[in-house]
Structure 1
Protein backbone atom coordinates (compact mmCIF):
# COMPACT_ATOMS: atom_id res chain seq x y z
CA UNK A 1 0.00 0.00 0.00
CA UNK A 2 1.18 3.49 -0.80
CA UNK A 3 1.99 6.01 1.92
CA UNK A 4 -0.05 9.19 1.46
CA UNK A 5 1.67 12.40 2.63
CA UNK A 6 -0.42 15.57 2.87
CA UNK A 7 2.04 18.43 2.23
CA UNK A 8 1.11 22.09 2.24
CA UNK A 9 1.58 23.54 -1.29
CA UNK A 10 2.80 26.94 -0.05
CA UNK A 11 4.72 25.94 3.08
CA UNK A 12 5.89 22.34 2.70
CA UNK A 13 6.54 20.65 6.05
CA UNK A 14 10.27 19.74 6.22
CA UNK A 15 9.59 16.49 8.08
CA UNK A 16 7.28 15.28 5.33
CA UNK A 17 9.63 16.43 2.57
CA UNK A 18 12.41 14.39 4.18
CA UNK A 19 10.09 11.40 4.38
CA UNK A 20 9.21 11.71 0.70
CA UNK A 21 12.88 11.92 -0.28
CA UNK A 22 13.67 8.87 1.85
CA UNK A 23 11.19 6.97 -0.28
CA UNK A 24 12.80 8.22 -3.49
CA UNK A 25 16.30 7.27 -2.36
CA UNK A 26 15.01 3.79 -1.55
CA UNK A 27 13.87 3.38 -5.16
CA UNK A 28 10.23 4.37 -4.75
CA UNK A 29 7.80 5.40 -7.44
CA UNK A 30 6.11 8.62 -6.35
CA UNK A 31 2.98 10.49 -7.40
CA UNK A 32 3.41 14.20 -6.71
CA UNK A 33 1.91 17.60 -7.57
CA UNK A 34 3.48 20.11 -9.94
CA UNK A 35 2.38 23.43 -11.42
CA UNK A 36 0.83 21.50 -14.30
CA UNK A 37 -0.90 18.21 -13.40
CA UNK A 38 0.20 15.53 -10.99
CA UNK A 39 3.23 13.52 -12.06
CA UNK A 40 5.00 10.21 -11.50
CA UNK A 41 8.67 10.35 -10.53
CA UNK A 42 11.72 8.39 -9.41
CA UNK A 43 15.41 9.03 -8.86
CA UNK A 44 17.68 9.02 -11.89
CA UNK A 45 19.82 5.99 -11.09
CA UNK A 46 17.02 3.55 -10.24
CA UNK A 47 16.21 1.71 -13.46
CA UNK A 48 13.67 -0.62 -11.84
CA UNK A 49 11.56 2.33 -10.64
CA UNK A 50 11.59 3.85 -14.13
CA UNK A 51 10.48 0.51 -15.57
CA UNK A 52 7.62 0.40 -13.07
CA UNK A 53 6.48 3.85 -14.20
CA UNK A 54 6.58 2.66 -17.81
CA UNK A 55 4.34 -0.26 -16.88
CA UNK A 56 1.92 2.00 -14.99
CA UNK A 57 1.65 4.32 -17.97
CA UNK A 58 1.81 1.46 -20.50
CA UNK A 59 4.61 3.17 -22.38
CA UNK A 60 6.42 1.54 -25.25
CA UNK A 61 10.19 1.21 -25.04
CA UNK A 62 10.75 4.43 -27.01
CA UNK A 63 8.84 6.78 -24.69
CA UNK A 64 11.11 9.34 -23.03
CA UNK A 65 10.84 10.74 -19.53
CA UNK A 66 11.34 14.38 -18.53
CA UNK A 67 14.15 15.43 -16.23
CA UNK A 68 12.74 17.66 -13.47
CA UNK A 69 15.42 20.09 -12.29
CA UNK A 70 15.89 22.53 -9.43
CA UNK A 71 16.90 25.52 -11.51
CA UNK A 72 18.45 26.78 -14.71
CA UNK A 73 21.98 25.90 -13.64
CA UNK A 74 20.95 22.25 -13.30
CA UNK A 75 19.34 22.34 -16.74
CA UNK A 76 22.68 23.58 -18.11
CA UNK A 77 24.36 20.53 -16.59
CA UNK A 78 22.28 18.18 -18.72
CA UNK A 79 21.58 20.26 -21.84
CA UNK A 80 23.47 22.58 -24.16
CA UNK A 81 22.12 26.09 -23.71
CA UNK A 82 23.30 29.04 -25.81
CA UNK A 83 22.93 32.69 -24.80
CA UNK A 84 19.54 33.22 -26.44
CA UNK A 85 18.15 30.03 -24.95
CA UNK A 86 19.55 30.95 -21.56
CA UNK A 87 17.75 34.30 -21.54
CA UNK A 88 14.45 32.72 -22.61
CA UNK A 89 14.71 29.87 -20.10
CA UNK A 90 15.64 32.28 -17.33
CA UNK A 91 12.47 34.26 -18.03
CA UNK A 92 10.33 31.10 -18.20
CA UNK A 93 11.55 29.07 -15.24
CA UNK A 94 10.19 28.02 -12.93
CA UNK A 95 7.03 27.49 -14.96
CA UNK A 96 4.76 25.02 -16.79
CA UNK A 97 7.15 24.30 -19.66
CA UNK A 98 9.05 21.26 -20.90
CA UNK A 99 12.05 22.11 -23.06
CA UNK A 100 13.57 19.69 -25.57
CA UNK A 101 17.25 20.57 -25.85
CA UNK A 102 20.49 19.08 -27.11
CA UNK A 103 21.92 16.86 -24.38
CA UNK A 104 25.35 17.09 -22.77
CA UNK A 105 27.52 14.08 -22.00
CA UNK A 106 26.31 14.24 -18.38
CA UNK A 107 22.70 13.56 -19.35
CA UNK A 108 21.46 10.06 -18.45
CA UNK A 109 21.57 7.99 -21.63
CA UNK A 110 18.24 6.27 -21.03
CA UNK A 111 16.51 9.67 -21.06
CA UNK A 112 17.94 10.69 -24.43
CA UNK A 113 16.24 10.52 -27.80
CA UNK A 114 18.30 7.76 -29.40
CA UNK A 115 18.81 9.43 -32.77
CA UNK A 116 18.57 13.15 -32.01
CA UNK A 117 20.48 13.04 -28.68
CA UNK A 118 18.00 15.43 -27.11
CA UNK A 119 16.54 15.51 -23.62
CA UNK A 120 13.36 16.93 -22.09
CA UNK A 121 13.80 19.14 -19.02
CA UNK A 122 11.64 21.34 -16.84
CA UNK A 123 11.63 23.40 -13.64
CA UNK A 124 8.12 23.37 -12.10
CA UNK A 125 6.82 26.40 -10.24
CA UNK A 126 6.01 24.33 -7.15
CA UNK A 127 7.23 24.81 -3.60
CA UNK A 128 6.76 21.11 -2.91
CA UNK A 129 8.87 20.06 -5.89
CA UNK A 130 11.54 22.66 -5.11
CA UNK A 131 11.78 21.46 -1.50
CA UNK A 132 12.05 17.82 -2.58
CA UNK A 133 14.76 18.55 -5.14
CA UNK A 134 16.73 20.62 -2.62
CA UNK A 135 16.55 17.78 -0.11
CA UNK A 136 17.42 15.16 -2.72
CA UNK A 137 20.25 17.19 -4.24
CA UNK A 138 19.58 15.99 -7.77
CA UNK A 139 17.00 15.97 -10.56
CA UNK A 140 14.29 13.32 -10.86
CA UNK A 141 12.92 11.37 -13.81
CA UNK A 142 9.26 12.17 -14.36
CA UNK A 143 6.13 11.94 -16.52
CA UNK A 144 2.50 13.06 -16.27
CA UNK A 145 0.30 11.01 -13.94
CA UNK A 146 -2.22 9.32 -16.24
CA UNK A 147 -3.68 5.96 -15.27
CA UNK A 148 -4.77 3.91 -18.31
CA UNK A 149 -7.35 3.39 -19.67
CA UNK A 150 -7.95 7.08 -18.81
CA UNK A 151 -6.36 9.53 -21.23
CA UNK A 152 -6.45 12.62 -19.01
CA UNK A 153 -4.17 13.42 -16.07
CA UNK A 154 -5.19 12.86 -12.46
CA UNK A 155 -6.26 16.23 -11.03
CA UNK A 156 -6.11 15.15 -7.37
CA UNK A 157 -4.88 11.86 -5.85
CA UNK A 158 -8.15 11.38 -3.97
CA UNK A 159 -9.78 10.97 -7.39
CA UNK A 160 -7.70 7.83 -8.00
CA UNK A 161 -6.77 6.78 -4.47
CA UNK A 162 -7.59 3.10 -4.90
CA UNK A 163 -5.59 2.82 -8.14
CA UNK A 164 -2.62 4.76 -6.77
CA UNK A 165 -2.60 2.68 -3.60
CA UNK A 166 -1.84 -0.38 -5.72
CA UNK A 167 0.45 1.25 -8.28
CA UNK A 168 2.97 3.47 -6.43
CA UNK A 169 4.90 3.58 -3.16
CA UNK A 170 4.20 7.12 -1.99
CA UNK A 171 1.68 9.80 -2.91
CA UNK A 172 2.09 13.48 -2.07
CA UNK A 173 -1.26 15.21 -1.71
CA UNK A 174 -0.69 18.89 -2.41
CA UNK A 175 -4.00 20.21 -3.64
CA UNK A 176 -5.68 20.26 -7.04
CA UNK A 177 -3.26 20.84 -9.94
CA UNK A 178 -5.78 20.75 -12.75
CA UNK A 179 -5.44 18.60 -15.85
CA UNK A 180 -3.72 20.93 -18.34
CA UNK A 181 -0.24 19.58 -19.18
CA UNK A 182 2.91 21.58 -19.74
CA UNK A 183 3.66 23.37 -22.97
CA UNK A 184 6.40 21.44 -24.77
CA UNK A 185 8.97 23.52 -26.64
CA UNK A 186 11.44 21.80 -28.93
CA UNK A 187 14.53 24.00 -29.08
CA UNK A 188 16.97 21.42 -30.35
CA UNK A 189 17.46 23.44 -33.53
CA UNK A 190 18.00 27.17 -34.10
CA UNK A 191 14.38 28.23 -33.56
CA UNK A 192 12.00 27.04 -30.82
CA UNK A 193 8.88 25.14 -31.89
CA UNK A 194 5.86 24.47 -29.68
CA UNK A 195 5.05 20.78 -30.14
CA UNK A 196 2.34 20.72 -27.47
CA UNK A 197 0.38 23.81 -26.47
CA UNK A 198 -0.54 23.43 -22.82
CA UNK A 199 -0.46 25.65 -19.76
CA UNK A 200 1.62 28.77 -20.38
CA UNK A 201 1.60 28.54 -24.18
CA UNK A 202 0.25 32.05 -24.76
CA UNK A 203 2.73 33.58 -22.31
CA UNK A 204 5.61 31.79 -24.05
CA UNK A 205 4.59 33.02 -27.48
CA UNK A 206 4.39 36.60 -26.24
CA UNK A 207 7.78 36.29 -24.56
CA UNK A 208 9.66 34.76 -27.47
CA UNK A 209 8.32 37.26 -30.03
Structure 2
Protein backbone atom coordinates (compact mmCIF):
# COMPACT_ATOMS: atom_id res chain seq x y z
CA UNK A 1 0.00 0.00 0.00
CA UNK A 2 1.31 3.42 -0.96
CA UNK A 3 1.80 6.31 1.49
CA UNK A 4 -1.47 8.14 1.88
CA UNK A 5 -3.62 5.00 1.66
CA UNK A 6 -6.16 4.68 4.45
CA UNK A 7 -7.74 1.70 6.09
CA UNK A 8 -10.28 1.29 8.86
CA UNK A 9 -9.95 -0.13 12.32
CA UNK A 10 -12.49 -2.36 14.03
CA UNK A 11 -14.59 0.67 14.93
CA UNK A 12 -14.61 1.89 11.35
CA UNK A 13 -12.29 4.84 12.02
CA UNK A 14 -9.97 5.84 9.20
CA UNK A 15 -6.24 5.59 9.72
CA UNK A 16 -3.19 5.46 7.51
CA UNK A 17 -1.46 2.07 7.45
CA UNK A 18 1.83 3.54 6.22
CA UNK A 19 3.85 6.49 7.45
CA UNK A 20 2.58 9.87 6.33
CA UNK A 21 4.26 10.97 3.11
CA UNK A 22 6.58 13.95 3.63
CA UNK A 23 6.83 16.58 0.90
CA UNK A 24 9.47 19.31 1.23
CA UNK A 25 8.37 22.64 -0.25
CA UNK A 26 10.37 25.85 -0.21
CA UNK A 27 8.76 28.29 2.23
CA UNK A 28 9.32 31.40 0.10
CA UNK A 29 9.26 30.06 -3.47
CA UNK A 30 7.06 26.93 -3.49
CA UNK A 31 7.85 24.48 -6.29
CA UNK A 32 4.76 24.22 -8.56
CA UNK A 33 5.10 20.47 -9.18
CA UNK A 34 5.18 19.70 -5.47
CA UNK A 35 2.31 22.09 -4.79
CA UNK A 36 0.25 20.29 -7.42
CA UNK A 37 1.01 17.01 -5.65
CA UNK A 38 -0.55 18.45 -2.49
CA UNK A 39 -3.57 19.77 -4.37
CA UNK A 40 -4.06 16.36 -5.99
CA UNK A 41 -3.94 14.71 -2.57
CA UNK A 42 -6.70 17.00 -1.32
CA UNK A 43 -8.82 16.30 -4.40
CA UNK A 44 -8.35 12.57 -3.76
CA UNK A 45 -9.87 12.88 -0.29
CA UNK A 46 -6.64 12.83 1.68
CA UNK A 47 -5.89 14.67 4.92
CA UNK A 48 -2.90 17.00 4.61
CA UNK A 49 -0.82 18.90 7.18
CA UNK A 50 0.56 22.20 5.90
CA UNK A 51 2.23 25.41 7.19
CA UNK A 52 0.36 28.67 7.70
CA UNK A 53 1.32 32.12 8.90
CA UNK A 54 0.27 31.10 12.42
CA UNK A 55 1.09 27.40 12.97
CA UNK A 56 0.64 24.11 11.11
CA UNK A 57 -2.88 23.12 10.09
CA UNK A 58 -4.77 20.01 9.01
CA UNK A 59 -6.64 20.34 5.73
CA UNK A 60 -9.13 18.53 3.54
CA UNK A 61 -11.08 19.42 0.43
CA UNK A 62 -14.17 21.55 0.82
CA UNK A 63 -17.28 19.39 0.87
CA UNK A 64 -15.38 16.16 1.62
CA UNK A 65 -17.36 14.98 4.63
CA UNK A 66 -15.40 11.74 5.01
CA UNK A 67 -12.07 13.56 5.26
CA UNK A 68 -13.67 16.10 7.57
CA UNK A 69 -14.80 13.31 9.89
CA UNK A 70 -11.30 11.83 9.84
CA UNK A 71 -9.91 15.16 11.02
CA UNK A 72 -12.53 15.31 13.78
CA UNK A 73 -11.45 11.85 14.96
CA UNK A 74 -7.74 12.67 14.70
CA UNK A 75 -8.11 15.87 16.71
CA UNK A 76 -10.85 14.57 19.02
CA UNK A 77 -13.17 17.41 17.99
CA UNK A 78 -16.85 17.51 18.86
CA UNK A 79 -19.68 18.81 16.69
CA UNK A 80 -19.37 22.29 18.18
CA UNK A 81 -15.91 22.79 16.66
CA UNK A 82 -16.25 24.34 13.23
CA UNK A 83 -13.77 24.24 10.38
CA UNK A 84 -12.34 27.34 8.72
CA UNK A 85 -12.58 27.88 4.99
CA UNK A 86 -9.25 28.89 3.41
CA UNK A 87 -9.86 31.20 0.45
CA UNK A 88 -7.65 32.70 -2.23
CA UNK A 89 -8.77 36.31 -2.08
CA UNK A 90 -11.55 38.79 -1.34
CA UNK A 91 -13.63 37.85 -4.36
CA UNK A 92 -13.67 34.23 -3.24
CA UNK A 93 -14.64 35.28 0.28
CA UNK A 94 -17.58 37.21 -1.20
CA UNK A 95 -18.71 34.05 -3.00
CA UNK A 96 -19.00 32.04 0.22
CA UNK A 97 -19.94 34.78 2.69
CA UNK A 98 -22.12 37.87 2.85
CA UNK A 99 -19.78 40.85 2.88
CA UNK A 100 -21.13 44.33 3.59
CA UNK A 101 -19.21 47.48 2.64
CA UNK A 102 -17.66 48.21 6.09
CA UNK A 103 -16.56 44.57 6.34
CA UNK A 104 -15.14 44.71 2.83
CA UNK A 105 -12.83 47.57 3.76
CA UNK A 106 -11.59 45.75 6.85
CA UNK A 107 -11.09 42.50 4.94
CA UNK A 108 -9.17 44.34 2.23
CA UNK A 109 -6.75 45.75 4.81
CA UNK A 110 -6.34 42.43 6.64
CA UNK A 111 -5.92 39.90 3.83
CA UNK A 112 -3.77 38.02 3.34
CA UNK A 113 -2.77 37.66 6.96
CA UNK A 114 -3.05 35.85 10.29
CA UNK A 115 -6.75 36.52 10.78
CA UNK A 116 -9.86 34.35 10.77
CA UNK A 117 -13.11 36.17 10.04
CA UNK A 118 -16.54 35.01 11.14
CA UNK A 119 -19.06 36.01 8.49
CA UNK A 120 -22.63 35.14 7.57
CA UNK A 121 -22.50 32.21 5.17
CA UNK A 122 -23.84 32.54 1.64
CA UNK A 123 -26.00 29.94 -0.07
CA UNK A 124 -22.84 28.48 -1.62
CA UNK A 125 -21.84 27.04 1.77
CA UNK A 126 -23.35 23.61 2.58
CA UNK A 127 -25.65 23.69 5.61
CA UNK A 128 -23.52 21.13 7.45
CA UNK A 129 -20.43 23.32 7.11
CA UNK A 130 -22.00 26.51 8.49
CA UNK A 131 -22.95 27.13 12.12
CA UNK A 132 -26.39 25.46 12.48
CA UNK A 133 -28.00 28.32 14.41
CA UNK A 134 -26.09 31.44 13.41
CA UNK A 135 -25.51 30.35 9.78
CA UNK A 136 -21.96 31.68 9.94
CA UNK A 137 -18.64 30.48 8.56
CA UNK A 138 -15.02 31.12 9.55
CA UNK A 139 -12.88 32.27 6.63
CA UNK A 140 -9.22 33.17 6.22
CA UNK A 141 -6.82 34.19 3.46
CA UNK A 142 -3.38 32.98 4.57
CA UNK A 143 -0.24 34.99 4.05
CA UNK A 144 2.14 32.00 4.06
CA UNK A 145 3.41 31.40 0.49
CA UNK A 146 2.94 27.61 0.72
CA UNK A 147 -0.64 27.83 1.97
CA UNK A 148 -1.46 30.41 -0.70
CA UNK A 149 0.11 28.26 -3.42
CA UNK A 150 -1.94 25.23 -2.32
CA UNK A 151 -5.28 27.04 -2.44
CA UNK A 152 -4.32 28.63 -5.79
CA UNK A 153 -3.46 25.24 -7.29
CA UNK A 154 -6.61 23.66 -5.88
CA UNK A 155 -8.75 26.31 -7.55
CA UNK A 156 -11.26 26.46 -4.71
CA UNK A 157 -11.23 26.85 -0.91
CA UNK A 158 -10.28 24.02 1.41
CA UNK A 159 -11.27 23.31 5.01
CA UNK A 160 -8.83 23.50 7.88
CA UNK A 161 -8.30 23.27 11.63
CA UNK A 162 -5.16 23.90 13.66
CA UNK A 163 -2.76 20.98 14.10
CA UNK A 164 -2.74 20.65 17.89
CA UNK A 165 -0.85 18.02 19.90
CA UNK A 166 -2.48 15.83 22.53
CA UNK A 167 -1.16 18.20 25.21
CA UNK A 168 -2.85 21.14 23.42
CA UNK A 169 0.38 22.54 21.95
CA UNK A 170 0.17 24.17 18.54
CA UNK A 171 2.73 22.53 16.25
CA UNK A 172 5.32 24.61 14.42
CA UNK A 173 7.52 21.99 12.71
CA UNK A 174 6.64 19.38 10.09
CA UNK A 175 8.60 16.76 12.04
CA UNK A 176 6.45 17.45 15.12
CA UNK A 177 3.29 17.11 13.06
CA UNK A 178 4.45 13.84 11.53
CA UNK A 179 5.35 12.38 14.92
CA UNK A 180 2.06 13.49 16.46
CA UNK A 181 -0.26 12.32 13.68
CA UNK A 182 1.76 9.61 11.93
CA UNK A 183 -0.40 6.91 10.30
CA UNK A 184 -3.47 9.08 10.91
CA UNK A 185 -2.92 11.61 8.13
CA UNK A 186 -1.80 11.04 4.56
CA UNK A 187 0.65 13.78 3.68
CA UNK A 188 2.77 16.31 5.59
CA UNK A 189 4.05 19.41 3.83
CA UNK A 190 7.40 20.54 5.24
CA UNK A 191 7.47 24.25 4.54
CA UNK A 192 9.82 25.13 7.36
CA UNK A 193 9.14 26.34 10.87
CA UNK A 194 6.10 28.46 11.67
CA UNK A 195 5.03 30.25 14.83
CA UNK A 196 2.66 28.82 17.42
CA UNK A 197 0.43 31.84 18.03
CA UNK A 198 -3.12 31.31 16.67
CA UNK A 199 -4.87 33.59 14.23
CA UNK A 200 -6.79 36.58 15.50
CA UNK A 201 -10.50 35.79 15.18
CA UNK A 202 -12.72 38.72 14.19
CA UNK A 203 -16.53 38.62 14.18
CA UNK A 204 -17.92 40.57 11.22
CA UNK A 205 -21.55 39.47 11.57
CA UNK A 206 -22.68 42.64 13.35
CA UNK A 207 -22.39 46.35 12.57
CA UNK A 208 -19.35 46.72 14.85
CA UNK A 209 -16.45 44.24 14.37
CA UNK A 210 -15.47 42.31 17.51
CA UNK A 211 -12.30 40.40 18.29
CA UNK A 212 -13.37 36.99 19.57
CA UNK A 213 -9.82 35.75 20.10
CA UNK A 214 -6.64 37.85 20.13
CA UNK A 215 -3.79 36.22 18.24
CA UNK A 216 -0.95 36.82 15.82
CA UNK A 217 -2.81 39.30 13.64
CA UNK A 218 -2.53 42.82 15.00
CA UNK A 219 -5.83 44.44 15.98
CA UNK A 220 -4.37 47.91 15.51
CA UNK A 221 -3.23 47.06 11.98
CA UNK A 222 -6.85 46.60 10.92
CA UNK A 223 -8.19 49.59 12.80
CA UNK A 224 -9.40 47.78 15.93
CA UNK A 225 -8.28 48.02 19.53
CA UNK A 226 -8.95 46.36 22.86
CA UNK A 227 -12.39 47.94 23.14
CA UNK A 228 -13.70 45.63 20.42
CA UNK A 229 -12.58 42.43 22.17
CA UNK A 230 -15.55 40.23 23.10
TM-score class, shorter-chain normalisation, is over 0.9
**Contiguous gaps of at least 5 residues in structure 2:** 1-18, 226-230
Deviation at 1:164, TM superposition (A): 2.6
Instruction: Quote the residue 2:14 is aligned against.
Output: none
Q: Out of 91, 110, 119, which is 2:137 matched to? A: 119
Q: Out of 81, 86, 110, which is 1:92 matched to? A: 110
Larger C-alpha radius of gyration, 1 or 2? Answer: 2
1:115-155 CA-to-partner distances (Å, cap 9, x unmatched) read 1111100000011111111111100000100132x212111
Alignment of 1:44-55 (within 5 A): 44-55=62-73
1:52-101 CA-to-partner distances (Å, cap 9, x unmatched) read 00011111122110000000110000111111110110010000000001
Alignment of 1:1-209 (within 5 A): 1-148=19-166, 150-204=167-221, 207-208=223-224
Deviation at 1:157, TM superposition (A): 1.7
- Aligned counterparts of 2:209 and 2:221: Cα–Cα separation in 1: 10
Q: Is the 8 A contact 2:20 2:178 kept in 1?
A: no
Normalised to the residue count of structure 1, the TM-score between the two structures is: 0.95
Q: By percentage of residues, which structure has more helix?
A: 1
Q: CA RMSD in A?
A: 1.3
Deviation at 1:204, TM superposition (A): 4.0
**Contiguous gaps of at least 5 residues in structure 1:** none
Normalised to the residue count of structure 2, the TM-score between the two structures is: 0.87
Instruction: Count residues in correspondence.
Output: 207
